[in-house]
């Protein structure tokens, strides 16, 4: 059966994911060492140890994300978190930075190393490089590849691949985007945040609600309509005579129906995005996907189930996997 | 501290490219990185100019390196990357997968689109053969100083983004094609219509970003005119000047004069602003609080 890797932003979400049938959960420490460094999210050292023990007791693995790029002069914190993860019994760490990968390979050789999507390894050369240089055993693929491209990659590499099947979508190559930093000074790579709430301001202006990030207007919506969160690359802008979603429509990924194709393409694990989501959301999505991977493994037809209302902006896409913008 | 001309980010005609490097050959810069950085589909239109440009630049005494693409995905692109090695020039790696093609022991440079944020990564790359590293543009001054020190210990020259629209993101998706309602495979090379990028404003008319095919840039032009002393004091080896259409040789001369102390920051800013794509400067990545900020708004007005 394909491994279902599920988000755990909090100890409660971790329990919900494991109870709903997650084969593995991923999580991070409550600081800038992981790419979901949001207020109220993530685990203290003690919570990590007890969370891992609880997940292990129910047969689920725990993957610890240390997937930001350590600050010059501040690497010690990331190194300490690697040691903390190993001491807590993590089944693997998810890393993006070459220096941190080298450190983990040297000082924690027995801990499995997964390559984070933040490293954006999008071709076999990149994956083989990380595998040979740092002993990476699994690669989380960027969300820019078609199913055929994933199959072709798997033919040229010896490590496992993990792909996103549900949740938010980055339209830029992950880990290679400083748009948020340009607008707010806070970046995914350096601070583990994108379009941070601390820099969001809403203003009622005439019939509109304007949503701004770092002072830049990202959306204007009529006051009586739901206003999306101002994630920078999902914003509405103008260029020349065009006005609209210049970078990406406010949709989220739902590749449930592609699970059989992804299995055939040699994918080992399926990842659900959403460490910032509630445990109710996590539970419902995980249950639906667990039923789907069970069905695929047993050769049964995919169970129908409506996750649309859980999707961002209530609109879902198969994303790059069935690329229409190529 | 000297000057490096980075690879052109935009899609220019072969004639523009030829004229550009002929003028750069006469400019007071120490080295030039050239090659297609953004889109492999552009290559057949202009890369036959590269050997001639390399010859002109080397004859003028410049160090020359050839850049990889920033995002290598297709098989053809992997092959093109391997072929770069045959040119006999140092490779500037702008996609880490290129390292898989460079034999161990062969020296290489690392461009600003590779994530080198800390000493550990710098040291690892140095051991692999890196001799020059241009840091990611979003790094603040304190981090730059730390990286310069780490570089000095292992023989790596550290370079920083000096001038030009900031490369903020790269995508599998082509925004120029999207803005023209075309698929990427049928883009009809519309990015060539915007030789310094196509501006993207907010719905309130604030200049914000610029698109350049699969790349997203800042609308503002980053300008380190006010910080040459601080960067030199931090030990930075070189400032990277990114090609733009307006008066580029004069821009190189301006920065050379600034480093030599022959012109004030204010005078350099006043000289460069009329030719800056977007007509506004930023230096916020270096000094904060955010990348779009400009430390001297009065001079910019």
Q: Which domains does chain A have, with CATH numbers?
A: 3-169+251-322 (3.20.20.70), 179-244 (no CATH)
Q: Which residues of chain B have pLDDT under 70?
A: 298-301
For residue A173, what pLDDT is reported? Answer: 92
The nearest alpha carbon in chain B to A69 belongs to: B117
Domain ranges of chain B: 2-166+221-300
pLDDT of A139 strictly over 90 = yes
The CA-based angle B249-B254-B256, given to 5 degrees, is: 95
pLDDT, tens digit, 9 for 90 and up, residues A221-244: 998 888 889 999 999 999 999 999
How many helices and strands, by DSSP H and E, does chain A display? 10, 16
Estimate to the nearest angstrom the gap between the alpha carbon of B86 and the chain centroid: 23
Q: Taking Cα atoms as reference points, which of A235, A251, A231 lies closest to residue A243?
A: A235
CA–CA separation, A35 vs A67, rounded Å? 6
- Report the percentage of chain B scoring pLDDT > 70: 99
- pLDDT band, very low/low/confident/very high, at A170 (cuts 50, 70, 90): confident
Q: Is B187 annotated as a binding residue?
A: yes
For residue B301, what pLDDT is reported? Answer: 45
- Chain B positions touching A124 (Cβ under 8 A) are 78
pLDDT, tens digit, 9 for 90 and up, residues B152-205: 999 999 999 999 999 999 998 899 999 999 888 889 999 999 999 999 999 999
Domain B2-166+221-300 in CATH 1.10.10.10: no
Give the closest-approach CA distance of B89 to chain A in angstroms.
21
pLDDT of A146 strictly over 80 = yes
CA–CA separation, B54 vs B64, rounded Å? 7
pLDDT, tens digit, 9 for 90 and up, residues A271-320: 999 999 999 999 999 999 999 999 999 999 888 765 655 655 556 777 77
Burial of A294 (0-12, 13-18, 19+ CB in 10 A): middle
Contact assignment for B173 to A325 by CB distance below 8 Å:
yes
- Indicate the pairing of strand B130-134 with strand B108-110: parallel
CA–CA separation, B152 vs B143, rounded Å? 14
For residue B221, what pLDDT is reported? Answer: 98
Enter the tokens of residue B176.
């120029």
Which sign does the torsion angle of CA A257, A260, A265, A267 carry?
positive
User: Which of A91-95, A110-114, B84-88, B262-266 bottoms out in mean pLDDT, i.e. has the lowest?
Assistant: B84-88
Chain A (19-48) residues lying within 8 Å, Cβ to Cβ, of chain B:
none
pLDDT of A184 strictly over 60 = yes
Q: Return the number of CB contacts < 8 Å for A and B.
A: 220
């Amino acid at each position: 059966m394909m491994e279902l890797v599920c988000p755990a932003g909090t100890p409660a979400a971790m329990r919900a994911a494991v109870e709903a049938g997650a084969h593995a959960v991923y999580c991070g420490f409550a600081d800038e060492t992981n790419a979901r460094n949001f207020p109220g999210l993530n685990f203290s050292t003690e919570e990590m140890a007890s969370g891992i023990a609880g997940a292990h007791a129910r047969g689920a693995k725990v993957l610890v994300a240390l997937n930001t790029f350590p600050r010059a002069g501040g690497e010690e914190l990331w190194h300490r978190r690697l040691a903390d993860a190993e001491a807590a019994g993590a089944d693997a760490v998810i890393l993006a930075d070459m220096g941190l990968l080298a450190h983990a390979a040297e000082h924690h050789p027995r801990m499995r190393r997964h390559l984070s999507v933040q490293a954006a390894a999008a071709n076999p050369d990149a994956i083989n490089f990380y595998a040979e240089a740092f002993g990476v055993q699994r690669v989380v693929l960027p969300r820019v590849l078609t199913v055929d491209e994933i199959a072709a990659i798997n033919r040229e590499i010896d490590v496992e691949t993990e792909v996103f099947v549900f949740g938010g979508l980055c339209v830029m190559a992950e880990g290679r985007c400083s748009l948020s930093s340009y607008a707010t000074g806070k970046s995914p790579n350096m601070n583990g945040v994108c379009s941070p709430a601390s820099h969001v301001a809403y203003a009622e202006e005439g019939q509109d609600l304007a949503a701004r990030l770092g002072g830049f207007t990202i959306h204007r919506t009529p006051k009586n309509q739901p206003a999306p969160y101002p994630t920078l690359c999902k914003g509405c802008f103008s260029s020349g005579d065009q006005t609209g979603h210049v970078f990406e429509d406010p949709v989220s990924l739902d590749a449930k129906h592609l699970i059989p194709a992804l299995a055939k393409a040699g994918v080992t694990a399926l990842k659900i995005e959403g460490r910032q989501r509630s445990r109710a959301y996590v539970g419902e999505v995980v249950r639906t996907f667990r039923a789907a991977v069970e069905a695929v493994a047993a050769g049964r037809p995919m169970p129908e189930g409506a996750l649309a209302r859980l999707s961002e902006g209530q609109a879902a896409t198969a994303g790059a996997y069935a690329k229409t913008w190529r | 501290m000297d000057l490096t001309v980075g690879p052109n980010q935009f899609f220019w005609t072969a004639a523009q490219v030829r004229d550009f490097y002929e003028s750069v050959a006469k400019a007071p810069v120490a080295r030039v990185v050239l090659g297609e950085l953004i889109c492999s589909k552009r290559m057949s239109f202009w890369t036959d100019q590269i050997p001639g440009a390399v010859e002109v630049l080397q004859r003028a005494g410049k160090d020359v390196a050839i850049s990889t693409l920033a995002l290598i995905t297709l098989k053809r692109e992997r092959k093109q990357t391997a072929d770069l090695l045959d040119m006999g020039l140092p490779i500037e790696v702008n996609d880490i997968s290129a390292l898989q093609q460079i034999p161990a022991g062969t020296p290489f440079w690392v461009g600003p689109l590779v994530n080198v944020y800390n000493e550990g990564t710098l040291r690892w790359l140095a051991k692999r053969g890196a001799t020059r590293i241009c840091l990611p543009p979003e790094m603040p001054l304190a981090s730059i100083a730390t990286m310069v020190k780490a570089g000095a210990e292992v023989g790596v020259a550290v370079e920083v983004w000096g001038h030009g629209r900031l490369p903020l993101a790269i995508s599998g998706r082509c925004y120029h094609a999207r803005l023209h309602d075309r698929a990427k495979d049928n883009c009809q090379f519309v990015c060539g219509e915007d030789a310094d990028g196509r501006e993207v404003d907010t719905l309130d008319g604030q200049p914000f970003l610029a698109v350049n095919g699969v790349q997203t840039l800042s609308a503002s032009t980053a300008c380190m005119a006010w910080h040459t002393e601080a960067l030199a004091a931090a030990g930075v080896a070189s400032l990277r000047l990114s090609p733009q259409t307006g008066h580029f040789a004069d821009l190189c001369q301006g920065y050379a004069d600034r480093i030599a102390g022959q012109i004030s920051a204010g005078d350099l800013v006043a000289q460069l602003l009329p030719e800056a794509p977007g007509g506004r400067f930023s230096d916020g990545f270096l000094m904060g609080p955010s990348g779009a900020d400009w430390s001297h708004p009065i001079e910019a007005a």
